[in-house]
Amino acid sequence: MADANADIQPETRPELNLGNVLGDIKFGLLSLFNNPEFCAPIAVFLTIAESLLLKAVIHFVPYTEIDYSTYMQQIDQIEAGELDYAKISGDTGPIVYPGGHVYIYSWMKWFTNGMDNVHAGQQIFRYLYLATFVLTLVAYFQTNVRFKPYLLYFLCLSKRLHSIYVLRLFNDCFATFLMVATIVVLQQAAVLRRRKSALGAVLTFFSAQLFSSAVSVKMNALLYLPGYLVVVYMILGENLLHTLAVIGFGCAVQAGINWDFLAASETTRAHFLQNAFDFSRAFLYRWTVNWKFVPEPIFRSREFHTLLLLAHTAALTFFAVYKWSSKSVTGKPSTKFIRDALIFYKDTIGPENVILSPESGRYIFWVMATSNLIGVLFARSLHYQFLAWYMYSLPMLLQLGGLPWYAQTALVVVHEWCWNVYPSTAASSLGLVAVLATVVLSQLRCGFGKPKQE
């Protein structure tokens, strides 16, 4: 017993001196940027900081009227009984958004009493920004990627994004909220699928409702459609029949939201579809953020639009075949993956599919975000409010692309500069396209190892 007591050494504590204190301070400061263990508390802090910042922006920065008064004028006409989109217009032009937009801004009109209390609308958009921010954090953490805190700071750095929400009140913000919610729900659906719970299928149908609702606000949500179809097909066990059921449900939701316009006269229905889902809409060169380095005649030409469409299609096809459904993802060769899809009435998923692994959250975020960003890269025109379409996903895509921290930081700085140049210039547009192309190309490095079953 005496020998045992002799072996017990007194607790060794670091000496309290200036060097150790400075070392602890250095460790703490560096951890705020590079220690993944700090991400959760920093996420809480940033949410509070964003709330206070938005309050300050609303209080100190004047509201800028762009489209909100037009939205209100158009809602006034609809509430007065006019359903013909060819006859509904405002100061900045005719109505060009589907029924979800109409419902949301009808509610906004009630909250703001038209244009009499825009401040109330700014507060609603402040809550919308925060809700989208929190959902983004949830999506990030559900990727199970061990990322560093500086990625979270990137989420908060966009001056343009803050103004899009609380100083402009654009409908893009609602569409983005619904799409981020869709990603979070799909991530949870995959977890439940892995646990063999029927709730996974229920959440997949719920994701279709969210996705369709986003499309009913603004068509840009369709940029997610290729990735969404791949993800849903995987979650539903590579069962084509079940996937078609989800697609049908989403279409039914879309029809329900727009029913007032679709069920009216044939002329009203035709004008609604022509205006709300106009894929040939012409954009003004003066407002383009991404193609100012292209001469205006080329920008307006049909050949340029066709080239962008072909490039968009080619990029999506490449990612769908060689990345989203590669052997490392599905656990089987591409030829077998295609043959299995023809067995449309039963599950054909293999045990090594990434959707059945803890990597499913990362896979779902990555597929959805790359599908969207590819569409943004090849968009015929980006306007300033379109930044809301993808800004939430940019930091995580930089991480998934495997770029070093200094390259990520440089891309974020250039990206922020491009969006803050007003009006856009050839240099800012070229810089933006270069950043977007770099991020998309970096995703070719993103891969998945052999999934580990839980």
Q: List phi, psi (to 5°) of 378.
A: -105, 20
197 contacts 82 by C-beta, under 8 angstroms = no
Q: List phi, psi (to 5°) of 27.
A: -60, -45
Residue whose pair of structure tokens reads 């993802």 in the numeric block: 329
Q: How far is CA 377 from the centre of its chain?
A: 14
| Pairing of the two strands 93-94 and 89-90 | antiparallel
Cis-peptide, bond into residue 149, ω within 30° of zero: no
pLDDT value of position 450:
47
Residue 13: which pLDDT band, with cuts at 50, 70 and 90?
Answer: confident
Q: List phi, psi (to 5°) of 94.
A: -75, 165
Residue 150: which pLDDT band, with cuts at 50, 70 and 90?
Answer: very high
Residue 74, both tokens: 């158009």
Q: What is the pLDDT of residues 328-354, one digit of tens each?
A: 999 998 888 888 888 888 898 999 999
CA distances for 28 relative to 24, 25, 35, 43, 102, angstroms: 6, 5, 9, 16, 49
pLDDT value of position 453:
38
pLDDT at 4 over 90: no
Q: What is the pLDDT of residues 73-108, one digit of tens each?
A: 999 999 999 999 999 999 999 999 999 999 999 999
pLDDT at 376 over 60: yes
pLDDT at 23 over 80: no
pLDDT value of position 399:
96
pLDDT value of position 139:
98
pLDDT at 1 over 60: no
Residue 270: which pLDDT band, with cuts at 50, 70 and 90?
Answer: very high
312 contacts 453 by C-beta, under 8 angstroms = no
pLDDT at 14 over 80: no
pLDDT value of position 451:
38
Residue 6, both tokens: 């002799």
Q: In this prediction, what percent of the chain has a pLDDT beyond 70?
A: 96
Residue 452: which pLDDT band, with cuts at 50, 70 and 90?
Answer: very low
pLDDT value of position 342:
87
Mean pLDDT of 407-414: 98
Domain ranges in the chain are 46-445
Q: What is the pLDDT of residues 27-80, one digit of tens each?
A: 788 888 899 999 999 999 999 999 999 999 999 999 999 999 999 999 999 999
DSSP 94: E
pLDDT value of position 72:
98
Residue 407, both tokens: 């390259």
Lowest mean pLDDT among 37-41, 157-161, 342-346, 393-397: 342-346
Q: How far is CA 142 from the centre of its chain?
A: 15
Q: Write the DSSP string, 364-411.
A: HHHHHHHHHHHHHHT-S---GGGGGGTGGGHHHHHHHTT--HHHHHHH
Q: Whole-number mean pLDDT of the chain?
A: 94
Residue 6: which pLDDT band, with cuts at 50, 70 and 90?
Answer: low
Mean pLDDT of 293-320: 97
Q: What is the pLDDT of residues 228-269, one digit of tens each?
A: 999 999 999 999 999 999 999 999 999 999 999 999 999 999
Residue 24: which pLDDT band, with cuts at 50, 70 and 90?
Answer: confident
What H or E segment, with its residue span, contains residue 49?
A: helix 39-60
pLDDT value of position 227:
98
